[in-house]
Every structure is written in structure tokens, then in C-alpha cells.
Chains A and B, each alone.
Chain A
Amino acid sequence: MSRNQLLITIVIAAFATGLCRFLPFLLFGTGKKIPGFFRYLGDMLPRAAMAMLLVYCLKDLSFAGPLSAWAPALLGAAVSALLHLWKRNMLLSILAGTCVYMLLIRL
């Protein structure tokens, strides 16, 4: 991506993010009833979007390759997930999973 394309990407993302944040105030500001599909998306979309992003992060894993091609990422993610279900401390979970991953890829 060239410098200008990078800048345009940031502008696009900033615009779309602003759109999500301002839309309720622009559309429903004057006491109009909020359409059901909007509330449905607000309720349901976050979980689908984060599941999508997780697959997206792991897209380059190759299970056909040797153990070292996929095991560090899966173990790192497992450590983060389990630690988070146990302690519910976001920083700790992220830090631990990342450290496990960084160690494993050096073995």
C-alpha cells in the first residue's frame, strides 16, 4: 500500500467508525422508534464479528505442515482463553497467551 492509500484507508475506517457511533443520534434523535433490526444487530453482531476476526487472525495456520506451523498459535490461544475464563483479567490473559506463543516459536 502506498502512503496515500494508507492515509485513505485510515480515513475510510475513521468515517465508518464515526458512522456507527453517530448513526443512533442522527436517526433516532427526535424520539423516533428504533427499528427492530438495528437493535437485533446491536445485540447479535458483536459475537459474530469477533468470531470472524479470530478466524481471520489464524488464517495463515497450516495444519498440513509440521507441528511447529500450528501448535504455538493454538496453544497460545488456548492459554489466553482458559486463563480469561478463570481470572477474567484481560491484560493478564493477553500477556500470558502472547508470551507462550513467543516462547513456543523459539523452541
Chain B
Amino acid sequence: MYKKAFIKTIPVLTGYVFLGTAYGISIKTAGLPWWAAVFSSIFIFAGSLQFALIPIMCASFAPLTSFLMSLIINARHLFYGITMLKRYLKLRHPWRDYAIFALTDETFSLVLEEPEKGLSPEKWYTTLSGMDHFYWVLGSLIGTIAGELITLDLTGIDFSMTALFTVIVSEQTSDAYRLHRAGKMSRQQFFFPTLLGFGATLLSLLTLGTGRFLLAAMAIITCGFYLDYRGSSWRDRQKEKEVSA
């Protein structure tokens, strides 16, 4: 079973060790201590957020911004949780709690497929999650050590964070575009979230400057979504789906 799980996690292994290493190096080049990378990778275990926290960790203490950023960036996990709800609730404690804690984007993509018959779901889900968790911590550790040892000029390596988010936005946009073309997503649903994110953040940045604009951007995004939800066709489409399902 462990061999099967290992083979299944190989794509995550390469991804996590690479990104984790980039994260560890970024932490070091930002002048932060090695344990900030390792503790974050063990206890937060959410790549996008950990990258986004680096500049915040370098600035003055901002607990509210850190908290709200974590919620907004990780809100997508609500969706993963809802998807895995029935299967994970059947697991026994403490395996269930660990599997929920470690449900990252990549692990979610692995556990979407149900375990083979004869395998204990507890063992299967925890092993996959644990292996991914280990790769991520390992990568971060390699990165902090590499950041310490490499004497090459690594200026600009922190651009990997910008590249990461650029790639995620491209992927999300092209996925949404496909859904839109297939008639499964309205034009408004396709444009609105990305435009709201860009618009709210640019507006806040241009009016408030680089210091405190994130809180304002998050407030605008939340209000925008609430207003859209109150008045939008999203609910009607969901109802249609439920009826047709």
C-alpha cells in the first residue's frame, strides 16, 4: 500500500520539493530565520499563503491583515472540504483530523479518486496526506539550507512568488474560459471574480499606497461578492443544476 501511495504522490513530490525549495530560499533571502520556513510548512501547510506572508513577515506586525489574508487565500479549501465531506466523516479520529488539516490543493487532487477496494481509507488518506506534507517540509528545509550555503548571487529568486501567482491566474482563467465556452459558466461568472480581484486591489493600491492597501482590497472583494450573490444569477443556476441532477 505504501508503494502504491508513493507512486501516486510522485507528481506532488517533484512539485512540492521544487516549490518548497523556492520558498525556503525566498525566506532566507528575505532575511527571515530558517525556522519561519519550517514552522510555516509544518503548521500552516498552504503554499500560496506562505509565499504571500513573506513580505508581511518582513514588515511591521499586522495580525489582522495576516488573519484576513489567510482566510481569503484559503477560502477555496471550503470547497474541498464540502467535496470530501461524506468520505472524510467516515474516518475515525485522529486520522480524520489529520486528513482534514492536510487537505491542500495537490492532496485534494489525489484523494478525489476513491481508494481501491481492500485498502483501509484511514491509512490510505493519511498516508497520501502525510507523504505530501513531508515533501513540503523537506523542500522548505532544503531551501533554507541552500539559501545559507549558496554563495551565488540569488537576487531575483523571490520572483518565483510572482511567477507562481501568474501561473495560477493563467490556469484559473483558462479553466474558467473552457467552462464558459462549454456553456457551464455565464459570461458574468467568467469575468467577474478576476476583474473584481484586480480592480479592488489596484484601486486600493493607487489610493492608499503600498502600506495598508490589502485590508481595503479584501473588504472591497468581500462586499463585491456579497452584493453579486444577493442579486446574481448564480443561485438560479445552482438551482437549475440541482433540479437537473
Closest residue of chain A to B89, judged by CB?
A: A29
- CB-CB under 8 A from A67, the residues of chain B are none
Q: How far is the CA of A45 from the CA of B163 in the complex (A)?
A: 20
State whether the Cβ of B78 lies closer than 8 Å to any Cβ in chain A.
yes
Q: How far is the CA of A98 from the CA of B18 in the complex (A)?
A: 13
Q: Is the CB of B82 within 8 A of A34?
A: yes
Min Cβ gap B81→A in Å is 3
- CB-CB under 8 A from A44, the residues of chain B are 189, 192-193, 225, 228, 234
CB < 8 Å neighbour of A41 from B22, B169, B225: B225
Contact A17:B70 (CB < 8 A) given known A48-B194, A91-B18: yes
Closest residue of chain B to A14, judged by CB?
A: B43
- CB-CB under 8 A from B155, the residues of chain A are 102, 105
Q: Which of B22, B82, B85 has the most CB of A within 10 A?
A: B82
Q: Is the CB of B210 within 8 A of A59?
A: yes
State whether the Cβ of A69 lies closer than 8 Å to any Cβ in chain B.
no
CB < 8 Å neighbour of A56 from B40, B50, B195, B201: B201
The residues in A between 88 and 107 inclusive whose CB is less than 8 angstroms from any CB of B are 88, 90-91, 93-95, 97-98, 101-102, 105-106
Query: Interface size on B (CB < 8 Å)?
Result: 96
Return the CB mask of B231-245 against A: 1 if under 8 Å, else 0.
Answer: 000110010000000
Q: Is the CB of B85 within 8 A of A25?
A: yes
Q: Is the CB of A102 within 8 A of B194?
A: no
Q: Is the CB of B166 within 8 A of A81?
A: yes
Looking at chain B's contact residues, is the secondary structure mostly helix, strand, loop, or mixed?
Answer: helix
Return the CB mask of A1-34 against B: 1 if under 8 Å, else 0.
Answer: 1110111111111111111111111001100001
State whether the Cβ of B1 lies closer than 8 Å to any Cβ in chain A.
no
Q: How far is the CA of A94 from the CA of B170 in the complex (A)?
A: 12
State whether the Cβ of A64 lies closer than 8 Å to any Cβ in chain B.
no
- Besides A42-B79, A58-B162, A93-B163, 15 other CB < 8 A contacts? A1-B57, A1-B60, A6-B57, A21-B80, A22-B81, A25-B81, A25-B85, A39-B79, A42-B76, A44-B234, A47-B193, A47-B194, A48-B196, A52-B197, A60-B210
Counting from the closest, the 7 A-B pairs by CB-CB distance are A51-B197, A42-B79, A24-B81, A16-B70, A48-B197, A47-B193, A97-B163
- Provide a sorted-by-A list of 28 A–B residue pairs whose CB atoms are within 8 angstroms: A1-B57, A1-B59, A9-B56, A10-B40, A12-B63, A15-B67, A20-B70, A20-B74, A36-B235, A36-B238, A40-B235, A48-B200, A49-B72, A50-B48, A50-B168, A50-B172, A54-B162, A55-B198, A57-B161, A57-B162, A58-B162, A60-B210, A72-B156, A73-B159, A85-B174, A93-B170, A101-B156, A102-B159
